[in-house]
Structure 1
Amino acid sequence: MSSQPRIAIDAMGGDEGVRVMMAGTALARRRHEGLRFLLFGDQAQIKAALDHHPNLRAASEIIHSDSVVESTDKPSAALRKKTSSMNMAIAAVKAGDARAAVSAGNTGALMATAKLALRTMPGVDRPALAALLPTLGDNDTIMLDLGANTECDARNLVQFAVMGAAYARIAFDLDRPRVRLMNIGTEEMKGTEEIRDAAAVLRAAESLPLSFEGFIEGNKIGSGEADVIVCDGFSGNVALKTAEGTAKFVTDLLRKAFTSSIRSKLGFLISRPAMHLLRHHLDPNNHNGAVFLGLNGVVVKSHGGANDKGVANAVHVAARLVEEDITRRIAADMAGIENLAAVASKLELSAK
């Protein structure tokens, strides 16, 4: 096995398939020249795509797979496709042949495959899906869980907070990321018992490398008031889809407004720099790459509709997490949670 870190790429995932996956990986390779890649998928298609990216070809090994996990496949069906590009990429991480895997395929199938193959880390009950969201602050915010766990107890929320903070220390270069729990209000008595109990544990977690700053409401997700926002997967997925829909609504509304008349078109020409900045800020490709935190290995989910820039960002996320050894960081922080056993016991949060 190469001494240089390798990332496994599911070349067949995503709406655009091999061409965009290879173009995006090639872009990421320019940013991380020490990386090497294992490319899983149809050998002929991958070779043809690599003809346009000699720099990537020189740093890659192609491993043929004879099946693909379709977007319509249920997780159970995907698990049975042992020789699919997705399954083989995850298997490479399990075997130690790759340090991370990136796929733009079926999210449910990827979650099921990764969890079954890699298992959760010691001290982690459930993995969580975390992603970067744009804000008005100095940096983005990390939000989790975004759909891996529709129901969560207080123990799960505390673990998500610790894992999200570990990710934030890498992504934003912070010593003590600001962590908040998403709630229906900011008062201490608001929310479910699970949320209030998780808040009590996090307030007592002074020894952990995070700063718990209470609750945050959904309308403040993009305010920049938190580096990490924690919630159950049901609420997180609804919030994410709402934010994505709102961003599309705003951009489509502005496009319609600026083309409604000659005066509007002139106004667009004057405001073009500001519009370009808005479009760049809201472009999901600039924040692409959700991470399954809490597994014994790094797995990054690229949006199925991502372009080459979006795929490059997903590969960049995987590379950063490998370079900064996110798994080791989370393991160390999870050990720190055990020091809160007395608080957890008092709140009846001890592991079942």
Structure 2
Amino acid sequence: MMDLAVGTPALPFSAIMDTGSNLVWAQCQPCVECLPHSALQYDPSNSSTYSASPCTDSYCKALPSTCTTACEYHYDYMDSSWTDGVLSTETFTFGSGDPIPNVTFGCGYNNSFNTPFYASGLVGLGPGSLSLVSQLGFGKFSYCLTSVDDLSSTGTLLLGSFADLKEPTSAIRSTPLVADSFYFLDLRGISVGATLLPIPSDTFANKILIDSGTTFTVLPPAALDLVKQELRSVVDLPPANDIPWFDPCFRLKSSEVPQLPDMTFHFSGADMVLPMRNYMLVDTEAGVMCLAMNPSSVPMSIFGNFQQQDMHILYDVAGKSLSFAPAQCDKL
């Protein structure tokens, strides 16, 4: 999540940062199908800087749209979420920065989005022409996502020259971005503790999409089954088989949570070490903990935002590399 503001006068709202898509959009009033937790009451008729984009606009042609007098778009996401609205331009303000005029965005009047967060829109950070980073001409950006347990803080998005990693050089790792369509990384393997899992070399087809808009990492069953098998061998707790959506789950014997070994994702030239809190969901009240990963139903692997907690991640789009380092995201 990130904080920003839309319109003149500026109305603050929270939005999801999504490296897996390109469109920037915000919920507009009056909405037909509205986001359930949205607090944004943005009515474009009350903003002096709003303008609907014409059918001839080049950005309109980059979207599935119908056009009469304005560019009416429909935009789908991989998880079956969608937004319908009017492509428009507006002034946006990011954090404490100066207002940025004429940002092209979707004024979403009809939105269905699968998120547990209090989001009122989404900021697409993909490599396509409609994304925020492409519109503003930034060759690099970075973000830092706070822990899911820290409900008082939001993530940090840094653009351009502000995006550089300030962490110690010894802590920074870098790996190539291996495709132009979206941000794919070359994943070579996964370890749990000191054990390198015997995942067949062709399982990932050398690519995994890093996506700040997907919650949990998604892996092919051939890889995920080996992760589950190794966890069952190292966790000395009874199974909790009555938990939907997650597998494996374990029944805690007390409120004390056992410490598990780190999990390492071996990317080309860089290892990302995940502490237990970045791959296990722990609910001490319910007395269970579960692996926070899901099997893929299509031949694609996704590195989700739960696994990116407390990590400062730099996308050097122009230089085709991704760098990262552990960080205290609320201190950036």
TM category (shorter chain) comes to under 0.3
TM-score, length of structure 2 as denominator length:
0.24
Higher relative contact order (CA 8 A, sep 6+): 1
TM-score, length of structure 1 as denominator length:
0.23
Bigger strand share: 2
